[in-house]
Amino acid sequence: MQAGKLRPLAVTGKARRTSLPEVPTFAEAGYPQMEARSWFGLFAPAGTPAPVVARLSASIAQAVAGTGVQARLKELGADPIGDRQEVFQPFVAQEVKRWGALVERSGATVD
């Protein structure tokens, strides 16, 4: 893209990317049902004590909020959020429900 050999048509999130502010979303381009995004998260094993989860959650949120981490992730084209566990957990549940239904409808299987 930077060399002018590719022209982005749209981004798949609900909002424009900070790294590509001139590129519209699919919704803005006339395809409101097209929404997908990449995300990363850290998970602890089931049964991890709540105080440990709370401490990890706070530490991760603090690290992601740091200017160095923010800058580096933005250089890589990410829009870092760093939500705490109480926000991330319902988000993950929603994503599992959403994409699980799609996988089920597709008939895809794991070999």
Residue 7: inside a domain: yes
Provide DSSP, 73-98.
HHHTT-------HHHHHHHHHHHHHH
Same domain for 22 and 67?
no
CA distance 7 to 54: 43
Whether 89 is covered by a domain: the verdict is yes
User: Per-residue b/e over 58-74, b at no fewer than 16 CB within 10 Å?
Assistant: eebbeeeeeeeeeeebe
Residue numbers of the domain that contains 65: 50-106
Residues 68 and 90 placed together within one structural domain of the fold:
yes
Instruction: Report the number of distinct structural domains present in the chain.
Output: 2
Q: How far apart are CA 94 and CA 35, in angstroms?
A: 14
44 assigned to some structural domain: no
What pTM was estimated for this model as a whole?
A: 0.70
User: Residue 79: which of 13, 8, 27, 6 has the closest Cα?
Assistant: 13
Predicted pLDDT at 59? 92
Q: Domain for residue 43, yes or no?
A: no
Are 33 and 56 in the same domain?
no
pLDDT tens string, the chain, 111 residues long: the values are 878 899 999 998 888 988 888 999 999 999 988 888 888 888 999 999 999 999 999 998 899 899 999 999 888 878 888 788 888 899 999 999 988 988 999 999 888
Question: Are 61 and 102 contained in the same domain?
Answer: yes
Does residue 87 lie in a domain region? yes
